[in-house]
Every structure is written in structure tokens, then in C-alpha cells.
Structure 1
Amino acid sequence: MKPDDLLRYITEHMRMSHVYQPVMLRELLKSDGEATVEQIAKALLSHDRSQVEYYEIRTKNMVGKVLTNNGVVVPVKKGSRIVGYRLKDFVDVQARDRDRLIAECEEKIADYIERRGVNIWQHRFNAKGYVPGSVRYEVLKRAKYRCELCGASAEEVALHVDHIVPRNRGGQDDLSNFQALCITCNTNKRDQDDADFRGVSDSYELREKGCIFCEAPSDRVIAENELCYAIRDGFPVTPLHTLVLPKRHVSDYFGLFQPELNAIRRILDNLRSSIQEEDPTVTGFNVGVNAGTSAGQTIFHCHVHLIPRRDGDVPNPRGGVRGVIPAKQSY
């Protein structure tokens, strides 16, 4: 391809969903038109901030601590945050001594790789299959950058995007089936896949004959995803009062699986936006679940109420859901 043709492609025809194309072309141009797959992969890796963050965590929590504890390095801090390291008492070092020390480090690296081979990087292959960066971002954002099992922060550990129901047990690449797990929880979970998920995939198909929500007519459904659906309430508290329900027959909120909670949250977010677009007078929402007879539940298939609220729809809205016990609403 001639330079003018390539320039035209880059400036006029390139359609980007990521940085991959220009990075690859840059590497080819820098290497006189030809580069190895490894070269291109390394160039792409240099732009992947998530990988840099992974090794920043490893530097601070693992190797940095070991070398600090052994008196070899000292942390460089900005306030209470570690921003770097320096060799302890490293002054007036001759170039030949520096080169010898670097060579010894290189030899240690080579010896270790020869003994262990690719197994030394096995911890980086815990998640099977590629998860797009956009999905990873949404999963981590939803989890507030914390492990959804142990609660560890991304500042302390590396977080993986995990299939809650594994692919090998029918789990889908749907946002509702992903969760953020730290490397420890993800490793432990994988060791228990057979025990944890045996039959879970089939259980999503559970329906109960005679349940009005298991048998809701399709023309009532206004939105759905893989695991849940939404209908308008048959006896609305306010206009556009909507119910969100798991497709699986489960009696109450506390019986929901994590993927169902994720799916319900997603559809609630979408419904909130669509209701506000349909009726701009909606200025708030009550989101509620009745769990158990004493809490007012009358249909024992879990359903989440999304009740649009408008300024002035009641004289005094203060207290909101506290109104389930009227005497306690106002405080």
C-alpha cells in the first residue's frame, strides 16, 4: 500500500472501536512494514491501563513489601501513598558495578523461567475467554471496584471479571452473568465450580403451574432480558407503576441468585429512563419488595415494584417507604 493510500485510510476510512488499528499500523511502520505478532501484542499491551494497574498492585503488595522487609529498598511516599521505591543507601555506584548487578538480575530471571516455564504466569489465566474492555468497565463500575465476594478493593488486589454461572455450565456472556472477583476468590470459586453450580443452569427454567407470574401473557411484557421481565402493575399505585420479576419461579427477593439480582438492576435502570422519557412529570421513584405474608406479600413469586412519583401526588411524601407502617412514615 502506498503512503498516500495508507494516509487516506487512517484519516478518512478508519472506523475505531478501540486503539488496536492505529497501534498495529504504527508498529508496522516503525519496523519497515513488517512486525511479529509478539511485537504488535506488546505495543497493544503498553496501552492497556488495566494491566499496568495489575502490576502496580503486585509491586506494592508483594515484591515491594518483600524487598522493603529485607532492607534492600525503601518506599517513596507522597503523603500516605506509595508512589515509588529507591535502593537503600545506593550512592556513588560505579558503572561496572551497576552492569554486574544488572547481569546478575538477568541471570536470576533466566534461571527461574527455565525451571518453571510458562507456569509462572498461570495466575494471569484464571478467566477463560475474552471479556471486552467495555464489559469489564461496566462490571467493575457496578461493583464499585470491589470484590463482590470478600469486598476487597481494587486498590488492594487485582479484580477479575468472572462468569457467575460458568460457560461450561451454560452461563452466557450477558452482563447479568458477570461479577467482579479478586484473584483469590476467583481461584477458590473455580476450584469449586462443580459443587457450586451443578444444576444451577437448569434451575433458571423452573416455572410453577398456576403461578400468574410464571404464566404471564406475552402481550403484558414491556421489557425483558435473559433472566427477568417487566409488566405494568394490574392495580397501579401511580400511573406507569411497573413490576420487575425473575423468570424463574422463586418465592421472594432473598431467594434470588446473583445473576438475577444483576439482571433486575439492569432492567430497573432502563425502565427508570423510559418512564421519565414517557412522562416528564415523574420526579422520583419508590422501589420496593414485599417478602413474606407479614410484609404484605400476596403472590409468592418475587416481584420488585417500581413506582413513579410526581411532585404533589400526595400531600406529604416525607418518609417514603416508611409508610408501610403509616404511623411511622412521618418523622
Structure 2
Amino acid sequence: MRPDDLHRYITERMRMSHVYQPVMLRELLKSDGEATVEQIAKALLSHDRSQVEYYEIRTKNMVGKVLTNNGVAAPVKDGNRIVGYRLTGFGDVDAEVRDRLIAECEEKIADYIERRGGNIWQHRFNAKGYVPGSVRYAVFKRAKYRCELCGASAEDVALHVDHIIPRNRGGQDDLSNFQALCITCNTNKRDQDDADFRGVADSYGHREAGCIFCEVPADRVIAENELCYAIRDGFPVTPLHTLVIPKRHVSDYFDLFQPELNAIRRMLDELRSSIQDEEPNVSGFNVGVNAGASAGQTIFHCHLHLIPRRDGDVPNPRGGVRGVIPAKQSY
């Protein structure tokens, strides 16, 4: 392509959804028309604010703290915010000494990389925690393209798919164990969350002897995933009235963990579709839960009602639709 053609492409024909094209072209032009993939990737990386934020957090929460605690460096602050670091007691150092100290740092870096190899960056490799694109899409769609912790929009920050229970604590690659977090929340979660995730993972296996929902016969289960299952209600308000029940024995809806809420929501979506496929005349649903005896809960193992509605269902004379949240024992 001649310079004039390239000029017209850049100024008139280029259609951009990101900065990638002009960054790559600039790198090619700076390198006399040819550049390696690594050169181009580094140029793109220099514009990726999410990666800069990741290492800003790493600097303040990890390496900056270590050097400060050892008296080597001190934070530079603007009010309460750390904006930089300075060497302590460094003073005026001539170029020869500075070059020697830099060379010693370079030697330490090279020696460490030689001993450890690529494993030192394993925490940043996608291969370690690879999440297929279809799953990433499902997680972001469910989160409405916002961080599920701070609410930041994907338009403003890079979103990551995070294991709610980390893999090294027994977390599974199940949709119910994924959440969308921005780079800041994802990094801070690792450093600040001191919950015993192994105990949480073990708790999912808790069942209580004598609980009818912990001992449901297998032939009654019509659907299940890792954390919940579904059965038809034994006293249905309408045909195909279904109960969604967490596998863990938990009495109150408000004691459910986030992965269980995710699993239940996914189950409700799947059941809604299957019921409408089976009975196209279903035009709506009541979704309800009783939390506490005064609210009508008679079986103290949390369960949610999915009640199909058809045109012509009998109204409740007290208002609403009869049986939105049944107050009788539903089994």
C-alpha cells in the first residue's frame, strides 16, 4: 500500500471499535514497515488501562509495602492517597553508582527468571483459569455488564470472570461459581477476603437427617445442577407447579450463598423455558419463597416456588392471584 493510500485509509476509511488499528499501524510505521507480534502486543498493552490498574494495585498492596516495611522506600502521598514512592536516604548519587545499582537489579531479575521460568507469571496466564468465551458471555450478560461488587460498568472498566470460590479452594468451573468483577475488585478480593473458602466448599455437602428435602427420592428430581435441584410440588397450585431446592441444608432464603443464588436463578430460567415448551398456553409465572414460620414456611429447608399461570386462573379475592406463595406444606 502506497503512503497516499495508507493516508486515506487512516483518515477516511478506518472504522474503529477500539484503538487497536491505529496503534498497530503506528508501531509498523515506527519499525520501518514491519514489526513482530510481540512488539505490537506491547504497544497495545501500553494503552490498556485495566492492566496498568492491575499493577498499580500490586505496587501499593504488595511490593510497595515490602520495600516500605524494610525501610528501602517510602510512599509519596497526596492527602491520604499514595501517588508514588521514593528511595529513603538516597540523596545525590553519581551516575556510576546508580548504573551499578541498576545492573544489580537487572542481575537479580535475570537470575530469578532463570530459576523459575515462566511460572512467575502464571497468575496472569489465561490457561491457568481459562474460561470459554460462551461462559464469559453468560456471566457478563447475567451481571448486566457491571461489576457485581462495586457496580462499575464495562464501558468504564475491564470486567473479569472470577471464581467466587477459587479453584485452589475447591471451587468448580460451574456457571453458578462465576461472577463478573472489575480489575480493582478482583484484585482486592484476593488480598482482603479472609474467609475460609475450604469450609464454604465443604458446607455445600451438608445434609440433615430426617429433612424431607435432604432425602428426596431420586425419581422425583426433574432437574439439577451442582448446587440445587427441582421437583414438582406435591400440592400444586397449578399444573407443573415446581419447587427449586438448594442441595445444602439451609433453612432460610437469606442464608443462601451467592453461588447458590446463581444456581437457583439459572435453574428457574431453565424450568421456565421447559414448562413453556411443554405447555405453550402458560403466559406467566409466580416466583415466591416463604422465609420464616410467620411468612408461611412449613418445611425449614429453603425452597422456591415456580408457579405457572395461564389466562383464566382464578383471582385471589384478597387481591393478586391465589397461591402466589402457598402457606400450606408443599411437598
Q: TM-score, normalised by structure 2?
A: 0.61
Q: How does 1:1-331 map to 2 (within 5 A)?
A: 39=37, 55=48, 125=124, 128-192=128-192, 195-315=195-315, 319-320=320-321
Q: Per the alignment, do residues 221 and 300 of structure 1 end up closer, same or farther by CA in structure 2, a change over 3 Å counting?
A: same
> In structure 1, what residue type is equivalent to 2:181?
L
Asked if the contact 2:305–2:325 (Cα under 8 Å) also holds between the matched residues in 1, the reply is no
CA shift digits 1:64-93 (9 cap, x unpaired): xxxxxxxxxxxxxxxxxxxxxxxxxxxxxx
Q: Per the alignment, do residues 58 and 198 of structure 1 end up closer, same or farther by CA in structure 2, a change over 3 Å counting?
A: closer
Aligned-partner Cα distance in 2 for 1:226–1:324:
26
CA shift digits 1:83-124 (9 cap, x unpaired): xxxxxxxxxxxxxxxxxxxxxxxxxxxx9x9799799x9798
Indicate the larger mover: 185-194 or 130-139: 185-194
> In structure 1, what residue type is equivalent to 2:205?
E
Deviation at 1:42, TM superposition (A): 8.8
Aligned-partner Cα distance in 1 for 2:197–2:257:
11
Aligned residue in 2 for 1:19: none
> In structure 2, what residue type is equivalent to 1:125?
R
Q: Per the alignment, do residues 57 and 168 of structure 1 end up closer, same or farther by CA in structure 2, a change over 3 Å counting?
A: closer
Aligned-partner Cα distance in 2 for 1:200–1:229:
19
Q: Per the alignment, do residues 187 and 126 of structure 1 end up closer, same or farther by CA in structure 2, a change over 3 Å counting?
A: farther
Q: Structure 1 regions of 5+ residues with no counterpart?
A: 1-37, 63-110, 326-331
> In structure 2, what residue type is equivalent to 1:161?
V
Aligned-partner Cα distance in 2 for 1:126–1:286:
44
Indicate the larger mover: 172-181 or 182-191: 182-191
Q: Structure 2 regions of 5+ residues with no counterpart?
A: 1-35, 56-102, 327-331
Q: Report the identity percentage.
A: 75
Asked if the contact 2:286–2:308 (Cα under 8 Å) also holds between the matched residues in 1, the reply is yes
Aligned-partner Cα distance in 2 for 1:306–1:122:
47
Deviation at 1:314, TM superposition (A): 1.5
Q: Per the alignment, do residues 322 and 122 of structure 1 end up closer, same or farther by CA in structure 2, a change over 3 Å counting?
A: farther
What is the RMSD of the two structures over their aligned residues, measured on CA atoms?
Answer: 3.8
Deviation at 1:188, TM superposition (A): 1.7
Aligned-partner Cα distance in 2 for 1:115–1:222:
63
Aligned-partner Cα distance in 2 for 1:210–1:164:
31
Asked if the contact 1:148–1:179 (Cα under 8 Å) also holds between the matched residues in 2, the reply is yes
Q: TM-score, normalised by structure 1?
A: 0.61
Deviation at 1:146, TM superposition (A): 1.1
Aligned-partner Cα distance in 1 for 2:264–2:273:
14
> In structure 2, what residue type is equivalent to 1:216?
V
Asked if the contact 1:253–1:291 (Cα under 8 Å) also holds between the matched residues in 2, the reply is yes
Asked if the contact 1:285–1:306 (Cα under 8 Å) also holds between the matched residues in 2, the reply is yes
Q: SS in structure 2 opposite 1:251?
A: coil
Deviation at 1:125, TM superposition (A): 2.0
